[in-house]
Structure 1
Amino acid sequence: MRKIRVWAAGIALGCLSFPPSNSGMAAESASDHVTVAWMPHGIPHITAKDFRGLGFGTGYAYARYNACLLLDTVITVNGERSRYFGADGEATPGFQTVSNLDSDMFFRGYFDPNALESDYRKHHAQAWQLISGYAAGVNSFLGSANAADQMASCKGKPWVHPVTPRDIMMVIAQKSVLTSGSAFAGAFASASPPDAPPRASDRSAAPEPADKHVGSVGSNAYAFGSDVTQAHTGILVGNPHFPWNGPNRFFELRQTIPGQIDVRGAALGGFPLVNIGYNNDVAWSHTVSTGQRFTIFRLALVPGHPDQYLVDGKAETMDRRSVTVPVLTSAGAVVPQTRTVFWTRFGAVVVAKGRGLQWDDKQAFALGDSERNNTRLIDQWLRIGTATSSSDLLAGLKEVHGLPWVNTVAADRSGTILMADESIVPAVTVSPENHCILRGAAGGGPLVMDGSHSACDWTTAPPLSTDLMPAVLRKDYVFNSNDPAWAFNKNGRMANVPPIVGMMGKPLRPRSRMSILAVEDRLKADHHSALTPDDAASVVLDDRNYAATLVQPALAALCHGAEQRTIDQDGACDALKKWDSRDTPQSEGAVLFREFWQKARNIPDLWSVAFTPNDLADTPGTLAVSNPSVRQALLDALGAATQKLQSLHFPLSVPLAAVQYRETPRGKVAVPGGREFEGTLNIAGFGALGVDGYGHADIVGTSYLQVVSWEKGLPEARAILTYGQSGETNLPEYDDQTELYARSQLLRQPFDQPAISTEHLQVPSY
């Protein structure tokens, strides 16, 4: 097992720099001030008297390190990428890449900002105060004397300008549809009737846009209760896997309004509250849920009228909406480009021929999105941040019901733990008896529903009741690694989980199986009742490769007994004998195994032991090496992996550090971890292997890793933000935590961590 070291924060800080204090404002009363106490590694503690002030300090602090990133995101959500970067450049409205023009059409045509703002102002006053304060805080930083030095990547760019509350509102709206509407950005933007002339940028017939982060975006979360911990309190491990670049980077902070909220953790960029973190009484994390946030509606068209569809036998006409986007031409002029997008009672019309969603003279398809108008996100995380226990946190999830697409795992100071999926899903009963469902009832993809009957329209009804959502409170342990919530530990099962939340009784993904194995091994080593925070951290950070635990014994026997092996196969067998079955920077053989397993895992009839729900961790399993075709396919995969490494001039025992790293101004920093298909808990999602190693332009994986416990009655975290607080390469906070992460070093972060610099900010009047 790798030794996991915890550094005391506050050392080796000579390279850190902070903006000057604005304390000379005696003309204003103290109540008009927000204090930002800067802790090591650029982590701010914002203290304010009200929510607008808290938003102000949070926006200021985030912009201090990420103003260019935020302003770039604002350009995206306002549909202005084509104005500044041209129509053909790439944009990432969610996790998929589309053209700038399609992204702009999506954001300008899919959302209704007027309706969103009206709802915030009327029904979510504290949330709007946070949003408006956040915008003011960002602008305060943009106007500060040292802003230009902190914004090297966008200095002098024409799109650098103050933001509005509506800008921040739209950044939050983008986050609400990351696993629903944004996945159809191109399908929405390119949808046109079959009789319309083809668009120059129509990509509906092309292959689906590449999801750069497929198999990487997700999370692990573990909660250990009083029955298994040494101190008989709760321990929470949060291990979200998210992009290291772009608008969904996390940012560490602490937020305090005395007497109202006091929370520490990390927030997604542009979000005004902690998303994953802890307060004095409870700690929590989130994992991406398997619940379906949307359905597709098949529309039966009126013959001869491709913009009319039948509902209960009556024709309804699609709503045509013109969307205009300013586009920068190659000549440097900005010209308007207009498209018509189409809406139905169910939602937006989408065309994606690669997904079987084609608009012809008989049918069309509309997207019903449960997250498009979700304005409860901030209220929900405000309620989470003020929870007093795991059970109170669960009550808050049910009261607000505003989580968009995540599960919740929590632990409290008394040792009660929680696993719950209380996210928003449509109120759709998935079963063969539901005749509204045309496709997908067996868990084979998104639900396609019959749009010819009004009884099938769930879009105007409330979401699935929280009483039907899966949740459990316990004292031993729970976990989630992005499989359905029905299985929450080795033997724990939830009954009657609605299929739209997650299909029960299916094999778990390798990472979930590794979670069970790692936790059970750790508990056995600690005799089930002496788990410490360092033990809990080791569950994630020992970098064991689950596929290796299943494959290596049979693979060794195959290598030993195979006749007529090729030289390539012999070389692979010899190299894999030396591998430690982990994905650490020092591991020799990890690269070879990864390239082998990427091919071998898809061999037909690979396993000789079938899946059984009573053995989640080990089934399916045991390589079917007695099957001649499987045996030969495995040897072929070994030979192919060998040839690939040789063609790239890598030795078969190349250390993982030589090919899996982050490029930083200070050089290459090795990144530990493996891939989803390997079952490594510490995910490191990179591009394909090339002559320079694994593509590192878009890293996805372990991001904000926190281990929270209670010591002497106070919460304390061991945490790391793997990529650092800043997106600016000229700032030390860009990569100061990456080098620690490469060595599995977590920072000790007491709740009341001393500050090393303090600013007093003046909040503008209302």
Structure 2
Amino acid sequence: MRTRLRQFVVTAVALATASAALPAATAQSQDRQERPAHGGLSATVRYTEYGIPHVVAKDYANLGFGTGWAQAADQVCVLADGFVTVRGERSRVFGPEEEPDRSLSSAGENLSSDLYFRGVRDAGTVQKLLDRPAPGGPSRQAKDLMRGWAAGYNAWLKQKRISDPACRGAAWVRPVTALDVATRLYALSVLGGQGGTVDDITAARPPTGSATPAARTPDSEDLVRAVRDLLPDGSMGSNAVAFNGSTTANGRGLLLGNPHYPWQGGRRFWQAQQTIPGELNVSGGSLLGTPTISIGYNAHVAWSHTVSTGVPFTVHQLTLVPGDPTAYLVDGTPERMTERTVTVPVKDGTPVTRSQWWTRYGPVLSSPDGDLPLPWTTTTAYALNDPNAANLRFADTSLGFSKARSTADVLGSLTRNQGLPWVNTIAADSSGHTLFSQSQVLPRVTNELATRCSTALGKATYPAAGVAVLDGSRGDCALGSDADAVQPGIFGPARMPTLKDAPYAENSNDSAWLANADRPLTGYERIFGTVGTQRSLCTRGAIEDVAAMAERGGLTVKDLQRQQFANRVPAGDLAADAAARACAALPGGTATGSDGKAVDVSEACGVLKAWDHSMDTDSRGALLFDRFWRKLIRAVPGAQLWKVPFSAADPVRTPNTLNTDAPGFAGALADTVAELRTAGIALDAKLGANQFVVRGGQRIPVPGGTESLGVWNKIEPVWNAASGGYSEVSMGSSHIQAVGWDGSGCPVARTLLTYSQSSNPNSDHFADQTRLFSREKWVTSRFCEKDILSSPALKVVRVHE
């Protein structure tokens, strides 16, 4: 074993030495010496601290190969599970009634997931998009990356034994194709549309008998609530800020990206550096199963994304032909729906066959238990138009970012490729420029069109939630096209809310309006988001923080690091002291809970008063306020929560002044105290003692707080009183990056992958960065060759077919 180890070290050093120069001649000479004679794909993967791979290859296919190989090494079980999903094989493998990981769609059970994805495959949807010439379809480089990724994943499967117990020995871990990789990208694109309504699409059935239409008219308020839950920001979010050179110590830009994504499943990030000598050199986080860097930085530019408020779909209300619920009228002429019959194999059972119904607008939606409450009656049906169902341009957009040398190039990629489905882009560059752009694929619904063509339902839902319900019986209500759009029926780049070169550009998943509070963006259509409406506490707190930073000036990467872990609670600043005073004024120190029982809350008054208004792991009182705030905002309607209402003239500081006289205040406090005491948790317990994750049998305290608290370092923990409080995290801060430049040619970058690189509990990189996150520490980027080669953890692996 010692001999083998020495041989490996010698080989690794030799390869590392051969790569010492920024590998221009490097990869070419290595390729001549070591490329397999049969002409298969190959790459060099150099690992540094925390298992971060730096993939070097001669071209895009080989780069995809190295990336797929390295992703499989860290995440094979999660990846394989996702490929079972996009092939429509979950029912056959796991059973039809099990609930799938919802990373790739909203399907409530395996059968509906399979019916949707098999339908996509049977219709040839993704293959047709692959066959489109760029820019309507993916470029040759993007397709080479997909093809190479699949080959690299398959090569890892062939050469390695799986140690992850989640899929060790499982027959469903199988080789994949480039089409599988492309379908996974497609699934991510349609998450806000078709992928968010899978149950509605697959359960839609024509009515039988004589249903009474009036009795089943959908409720607009229910639909508005459903739409808000459907959009990706219902389950994800992010913060990002870019500072321009006028605010920084050296006149160069700075970027802090903090995407809030799931901690488990197929929407995790995975860190890597990708290099094609002389062509591409970029680091950052990739969404699992994708071959490009999704959020990252290079020697010139850094970018991040936040979930946008744009509604990426429209609903079209169909007037049905009397006596035929599968035909509808357009300008008085009947059109038949297309029936797509899909068959799904089922584990230990008979295959299930179902029909899906499609129209010129898209699939018909209807399900009593689905995501959108839209009934199919004898006179009316509703169809979903999702323009991202024709979008396979995400990889090219990200690739354009990876090769960018400025924020202008980032905007150029957005303009050229138009491939982002449901996110904003925030960027900074080494020359000191900043960018915010809500450039996403949105149906071309202008306010004029919505006014002219909305049905009665749409007249309520469009102003309230931005979702258009258009009259599908009128040809003049078609979406039309912009001359600069790459596909019909979407907005072109000229219509996108964009802010250039502001001192700061920030977004926390509200609309584009206050990307910079001093330079508000207006004039965009309602479907993009609102103007002049109340902002979330996340947005308010973020603007307060970054505006103060910009005004102070002299900023460095260290200031970004401090902002990430400040853990300030805007809700606490606004409400905690008032709550403590009202608590102390309660007669006898008691309050009545929702169960009618009196609770002694007097101890809570002092704890709230002494709390430092942070969600640090050693903060006492943070858990008490967290649990109280969750209960209070459920018990007290928003309009009654504050004494001073929202004002568009002061959107960052209003509403304010907690209304402690509101019905529900005392009850929420009583319920909180009773809950913690029943769980055996002290009211002044340190947050980290009761907000943690368990990895390798050890508790790791977790800083940060939930969305409604307004904390920049967002964490959505899972409450389990029996396990001691919050004993897991469902989503939150994920691939964090603080990036600047110092003129050396190497970015000054600090990163952190909060949940660590691997899902395999047997991996050395299952929890190492999670422990860093707990201690609010960072990983120093190794981007340039000298830094990679000086890593004490350097391990070099040559991978090939």
TM-score, normalised by the number of residues in structure 1: 0.90
Aligned residue in 2 for 1:201 = none
Identity among equivalent pairs (%) = 35
Cα 1:288–1:184 shift into 2, 3 Å: same
Aligned letter for 2:410?
A: L
SS state of the match for residue 180, structure 2? Answer: helix
- 1:647 paired to 2:678: yes
SS state of the match for residue 290, structure 2? Answer: coil
Aligned residue in 2 for 1:454 = 475
> Does the aligned pair in 1 maintain the 2:242–2:435 contact within 8 Å?
yes
5 Å-filtered alignment, 1:513-524, equals 513-523=540-550
5 Å-filtered alignment, 1:708-719, equals 708-713=739-744, 714-719=746-751
Q: Distance in 1 between matches of 2:9 and 2:510?
A: 42
Aligned residue in 2 for 1:637 = 668
> Does the aligned pair in 2 maintain the 1:95–1:211 contact within 8 Å?
no
Cα 1:32–1:99 shift into 2, 3 Å: closer
Aligned residue in 1 for 2:353 = 338
Cα 1:212–1:41 shift into 2, 3 Å: farther
- 1:102 paired to 2:121: no
Aligned residue in 2 for 1:491 = 518
Residue 324 of structure 1 deviates from its aligned partner by 0.4
Cα 1:98–1:668 shift into 2, 3 Å: same
Q: Distance in 2 between matches of 1:390 and 1:56?
A: 29
Residue 117 of structure 1 deviates from its aligned partner by 2.2
SS state of the match for residue 421, structure 2? Answer: coil
Residue 103 of structure 1 deviates from its aligned partner by 0.7
Cα 1:322–1:93 shift into 2, 3 Å: farther
- 1:238 paired to 2:269: no
Residue 760 of structure 1 deviates from its aligned partner by 1.8
5 Å-filtered alignment, 1:662-677, equals 662-677=693-708
5 Å-filtered alignment, 1:652-663, equals 652-663=683-694
Aligned residue in 1 for 2:343 = 324
Q: Deviations over 1:275-296 (max 9, x none)?
A: 1001111000000111111011
Aligned residue in 2 for 1:739 = 771
Aligned residue in 2 for 1:606 = 641
Q: Deviations over 1:110-133 (max 9, x none)?
A: 466634224324522211111110
5 Å-filtered alignment, 1:64-75, equals 64-75=73-84
> Does the aligned pair in 1 maintain the 2:107–2:198 contact within 8 Å?
no
> Does the aligned pair in 2 maintain the 1:213–1:685 contact within 8 Å?
no
Unpaired runs of 5+ in structure 1? Answer: 1-13, 199-203
2:374 to 330, 353, 357: 357
Aligned letter for 1:741?
A: F
> Does the aligned pair in 2 maintain the 1:94–1:179 contact within 8 Å?
no
Aligned residue in 2 for 1:312 = 331
Aligned residue in 1 for 2:538 = 511
Unpaired runs of 5+ in structure 2? Answer: 16-29, 134-138, 212-217, 481-486, 591-598
Aligned residue in 1 for 2:362 = 347
Cα 1:447–1:695 shift into 2, 3 Å: farther
Q: Structure 1 residues 648-657 or 18-27, which shifts more?
A: 18-27
Task: Count how many residue pairs are aligned between Structure 1 and Structure 2.
Answer: 730
Aligned residue in 2 for 1:7 = none
Between Structure 1 and Structure 2, which shows a larger proportion of helix residues?
2
> Does the aligned pair in 2 maintain the 1:572–1:639 contact within 8 Å?
no
Q: Distance in 1 between matches of 2:252 and 2:526?
A: 34
Aligned residue in 1 for 2:23 = none
Q: Distance in 1 between matches of 2:296 and 2:718?
A: 30
> Does the aligned pair in 2 maintain the 1:93–1:103 contact within 8 Å?
no
Aligned residue in 1 for 2:154 = 139
Q: Distance in 2 between matches of 1:622 and 1:639?
A: 21
Aligned letter for 2:472?
A: G
5 Å-filtered alignment, 1:550-629, equals 550-566=574-590, 568-602=600-634, 603-604=636-637, 605-625=640-660, 628=661
Q: Deviations over 1:145-175 (max 9, x none)?
A: xx21444421211111111111111111111
Aligned residue in 1 for 2:796 = 758
SS state of the match for residue 111, structure 2? Answer: helix
SS state of the match for residue 500, structure 2? Answer: strand
- 1:543 paired to 2:552: no
Q: Structure 1 residues 638-647 or 682-691, which shifts more?
A: 682-691
5 Å-filtered alignment, 1:130-209, equals 130-144=145-159, 147-195=160-208
Aligned residue in 2 for 1:435 = 452
Cα 1:447–1:474 shift into 2, 3 Å: same
Q: Distance in 2 between matches of 1:581 and 1:474?
A: 33
5 Å-filtered alignment, 1:362-381, equals 362-381=379-398
Q: Deviations over 1:513-556 (max 9, x none)?
A: 110122234445xxx22112111222221111110011023223
Residue 583 of structure 1 deviates from its aligned partner by 1.0
Cα 1:540–1:45 shift into 2, 3 Å: same
Q: Deviations over 1:718-766 (max 9, x none)?
A: 010011111111101111100000011011113213150112223x5xx
Q: Structure 1 residues 663-672 or 341-350, which shifts more?
A: 663-672
- 4+ long deviations beyond 6 Å: 17-24, 204-214
Aligned letter for 1:751?
A: F
Cα 1:213–1:296 shift into 2, 3 Å: closer
- 1:57 paired to 2:78: no
> Does the aligned pair in 1 maintain the 2:584–2:602 contact within 8 Å?
no
SS state of the match for residue 376, structure 2? Answer: coil
Aligned letter for 1:309?
A: Y
Q: Distance in 2 between matches of 1:111 and 1:707?
A: 40
Q: Distance in 1 between matches of 2:771 and 2:754?
A: 8
Aligned residue in 2 for 1:9 = none
